[in-house]
Amino acid sequence: MPRLASFLVVLLPLLLSAVRAAAHSNGGFGFKATLRHVDANGGYTEAQLLARAVQRSRARVAALQSLATSLPANVITTARILVRASEGEYLMDMGIGTPPRYYSAILDTGSDLIWTQCAPCLLCVDQPTPYFDPTQSPTYVRLTCSSPMCNALYYPLCFQKVCVYQYFYGDSASTAGVLANETFTFGTNTTRVTVPSISFGCGSINSGALANSSGMVGFGRGSLSLVSQLGSPRFSYCLTSFLSPTPSRFYFGVYATLNSSNTSTSGPVQSTPFVVNPALPTMYFLNMTGISVGGDLLGIDPSVFAINDADGTGGVIIDSGTTITYLAQPAYDTVRAAFVSQIKLPLLNVTDASVLDTCFNWPPPPRQSVTLPEVVFHFDGADMVLPLPNYMYSDTSTGALCLAMAPSVDGSIIGNFQHQNFHVLYDLENSLLSFVPAPCNLT
């Protein structure tokens, strides 16, 4: 027996490195996956889909703003680091443990932690799959308080030398439990990879909404996020039309490229650098320089898009979990005024401002033809020319034609409605966001 045990001790690291090597073959590490919209199976009408997404986005924006407005200025900077929004828009399937148990997690570029609800659960939220049971997986290892990943947490706790995490989201959702290492499986059939020793939260006290998923997978810039842990820090996604049931596509590592033959693109690839906001280091801030409507560069003061150095408020982020784009109020007012002056249709007096508020009356057929202005988001070094379906929403039942943007009292958020049918690459190594128009429903 002792001989066998020492044999295993020698063999196990070899076995594990063999798994890693397999994952890294073919010129590098990577996988492909699909993303499912959270409401894809809910049987909602187009108008309901949009209303639900706008409600979730509103909650997300409110979460980002909550601490900034409720705390004294000197604590805002540290407090903002802890603010995250719990709900998301896209789900990714992954396997956890040995053998893998599959579950879907909310993909979130606005937070770092990977977590799922674990058995035995003290306080859990409804989820579609059974809770992960660590006693059934031999690869599960609890992390000690001295482990680097434990120290990467903002609120580490130590219980009998085991690292206990607590993670709070701005909308009062939270998760707490043991920080552990486990083997994860990612990707679809042909690109499936199994990766040992991913640090994740095994949550036994959880609150908030999970949007029909079983946890979250953080893709933020912090060290606990999946993109940071996998050490091949680039990912890309191609989101299908918001109203289409076709799943969207996700690429990691070597597969995350806008130049590959697996993506048919139209137009040149454009790139803009990420900007770091020390008060929100997890999030992907961009340097937005202006907005054009109908060929006119609008007169928006650049300070409207700038990060406020004193407290970290303001700025512009790109976010997987926000649907429509939220523009800082002065920018929104200017865009709205440009639409009102350029669209030759009567402006609707929107009473239900819970949805969209720049709406025009465009009664059902026979419709008068109308010219809609082109919209371009300008970033440092890149112009995003938005296709019409990425900023105008036509409600066929009411005849309302609405601008899919809303005002924000804090910073601006480029939402995912605006990059439908764009292939968007987050390249952390080069600190660049790149994008190119692409028909995302074609594989």
Nearer CB in complex with ligand NAG: 41/443:
41
- Is 357 a residue of the active site? no
Encoding tokens for residue 415? 């939402």
CB of 259 to ligand NAG, least distance (A): 4
Question: Is 120 a binder of ligand NAG (CB under 6 A)?
Answer: no
Q: Of 126 and 352, which CB lies nearer to ligand NAG in the complex structure?
A: 126
* Of 348 and 411, CB closest to ligand NAG: 411
Which tokens hold the place of 51? 């209303």
In angstroms, the CA 346 to CA 264 distance is 39
Number of residues that bind ligand NAG (CB under 6 A): 20
Contact call for residue 197 and ligand NAG (CB under 6 A):
yes
SS (H, E, C) 272-305: EEEECCCCCCCCEEECEEEEEECCEECCCCHHHH
Which residue in the list 39, 93, 108, 427 is annotated as catalytic? 108
Shortest distance, position 79 Cβ to ligand NAG, whole Å? 23
**Minimum gap (Å) between residue 350 Cβ and ligand NAG:** 27
Closest separation between CB of residue 285 and ligand NAG, Å? 9
Of the two residues 348 and 436, which places its CB atom closer to ligand NAG in the complex? 436
Residues in contact with ligand NAG, shown as a per-residue x/- string from 285 to 324 under the rule CB under 6 A: --x-x-----------------------------------
Among 151, 259, 303, 341, binds ligand NAG (CB under 6 A): 259
Q: Least distance from C-beta 340 to ligand NAG, angstroms?
A: 29
Contact set for ligand NAG, span 39-98 (CB under 6 A): 41-42
C-alpha neighbours within 13 Å on the C-beta side of residue 366? 0
State the Cα–Cα distance between residues 146 and 198, nearest whole angstrom. 17
DSSP code string of 223-276: TTSHHHHTT--EEEEEBPPTT--SPEEEEEETT--SSSTT----S--EEEEEE-
Burial tier of 441 (Cβ tally within 10 Å: 0-12, 13-18, 19+): middle
Residue 309: active-site member: no
Is 34 a residue that touches ligand NAG (CB under 6 A)?
no
**Segment holding 52, helix H or strand E:** helix 46-70
342 binds ligand NAG (CB under 6 A): no
C-alpha distance from residue 79 to each of 94, 270, 309 (Å): 31, 34, 15
Catalytic residue among 39, 93, 112, 319: 319
**Residue 408 and residue 72: Cα distance in Å, rounded?**
20
Q: Does 346 bind ligand NAG (CB under 6 A)?
A: no
CB of 195 to ligand NAG, least distance (A): 9
CB of 289 or CB of 421, closer to ligand NAG: 289
Residues counted in the chain: 443
434 binds ligand NAG (CB under 6 A): yes
Percentages of the chain per state (helix, strand, coil), in multiples of 5: 20, 35, 45
Residue in this structure with the two tokens 């700038």, named with its chain if needed: 306
The string of DSSP letters for 73-120 reads HHHHHHHHHT------SEEEEEEETTTTEEEEEEEETT---EEEEBSS
Q: How far is the CB of 391 from ligand NAG (least distance, A)?
A: 23
Which residues inside 371-410 make contact with ligand NAG, applying CB under 6 A? 380
Say whether residue 257 binds ligand NAG (CB under 6 A): yes
Report, as residue numbers or ranges, the catalytic residues: 108, 319
Chain residues in the site for ligand NAG (CB under 6 A): 41-42, 128, 141, 143, 147, 181, 197, 199, 212, 257-259, 269, 275, 287, 289, 380, 425, 434
